[in-house]
Amino acid sequence: MPSPEPAAPAPEAPAETMTPQTTETPVADEPPPRRIVQREGLVRGTVSIQAPSYFSLVSPETKQLINYLISPSPELDLRRFKGMRVIVTGEEGLEERWGNTPVLTIDKIEVVE
């Protein structure tokens, strides 16, 4: 009976090479990318004279504010959508003058039945 041969040693893992991490600093002059979103809700008139818009989008279930609606042109009259359930697509952001006030600049608005 032949004698068992000793097992070969396990191969060593290749040594990791350390590369210096480079951190890219964002360019201060460049504005942040547009945040395009779709939101569904009810169009309501605002009651506060300090609101950034006369119209807001509220949740149909909780009646909580989702966004204030900003019309990009005078041709888009939001009064005709008041009380309707809609899907609004556009750029979402925060109103500079009011801190954490969410606003949605409308690109497209569709009535949901």
- The one-digit pLDDT tens for each residue of the chain (113 residues) are 666 666 666 667 666 666 656 566 555 677 667 788 899 999 999 988 888 889 999 999 999 999 999 998 888 889 999 999 999 999 988 877 777 888 999 999 999 97
Whether 95 maps to a domain, the answer reads: yes
Structure tokens, 84: 């309707």
- Beta strands at 55-58 and 65-70: parallel, antiparallel or unpaired: antiparallel
- The number of folded domains in the chain is 1
In angstroms, rounded to a whole number, what is the distance separating the alpha carbons of residues 24 and 21?
A: 10
Dihedral over alpha carbons 36, 42, 47, 53 (to 10 degrees): 30
- Residue 69: inside a domain: yes
Using DSSP, state whether 48 is helix, strand or coil.
coil
Domain that holds residue 77: 36-111
Task: Compute CA 45 distance to the chain's CA centroid, rounded to the nearest angstrom.
Answer: 23
State whether residue 86 is helix, strand or coil.
strand
Indicate whether 6 belongs to any domain.
no
